[in-house]
Structure 1
Amino acid sequence: MSDVNTLSERIDALEMRLAYQDVTIETLNQTITAQWSEIDRLTRQVTELKERVREAESNAPGPLNEKPPHY
C-alpha cells in the first residue's frame, strides 16, 4: 500500500510541477511577444528618424563656417 501512496505522491508532485511550468512558459511567451512588438515599433521609429535626418540634411544650406565667395 505504501508503494501506491508513494507513487500517487510522486504523480501529484509531477502534475504540480507541470502546471507551474505551463504558467511559466505562458508568461515567458507573453513577455517575448511584448518585447518583439516593442522592438518592431522601435525599429520603425529609428527608420523614420533616419529618413527625417536625411531629408533635413538634404534641405540644409551649406556649412556655416564656409568663407564668403569674395575672400
Structure 2
Amino acid sequence: MNSDSVERLRDIEARLAHFERLCDDLSDIVAGQSKEIVRLKQQLGALSSRVLDLQQDWRPGGADEKPPPHY
C-alpha cells in the first residue's frame, strides 16, 4: 500500500470510530427519553384519573351558581 492509501484508510477508520461513538451516544439518549416517556405517561394517567374522580364528586350547588347578569 502506498502512503495515500494508508492515510485514507486511517481517515476512514477514524470516521468510523466517531460514528460508532455517536451511534452509542444517540442510543443512550433514546433509551433515556423512552424511560421519561413511560414515566410521564404514568403520571398523566394518574392525573387523568384524579381529575375524573374530582369531576364525579363535584356537584354545582346553590352557592356555586351565580344569578344571570340581568338580575
User: Which residue matches 1:51?
Assistant: 49
Counterpart in the other structure of 1:17: 15
Structure 2 residue identity aligned to 1:65: E
Mapped to 2, the partners of 1:41 and 1:56 lie a distance apart of 23
| TM-score, normalisation: structure 1 | 0.82
**Distance in 1, Cα, partners of 2:2 & 2:39:** 55
TM-score, reference length from structure 2: 0.82
Gaps of 5+ in 2: none
RMSD, aligned α-carbons: 1.6
Between stretches 57-66 and 27-36, larger displacement belongs to: 57-66
Letter of the aligned partner of 2:4 in structure 1?
A: T
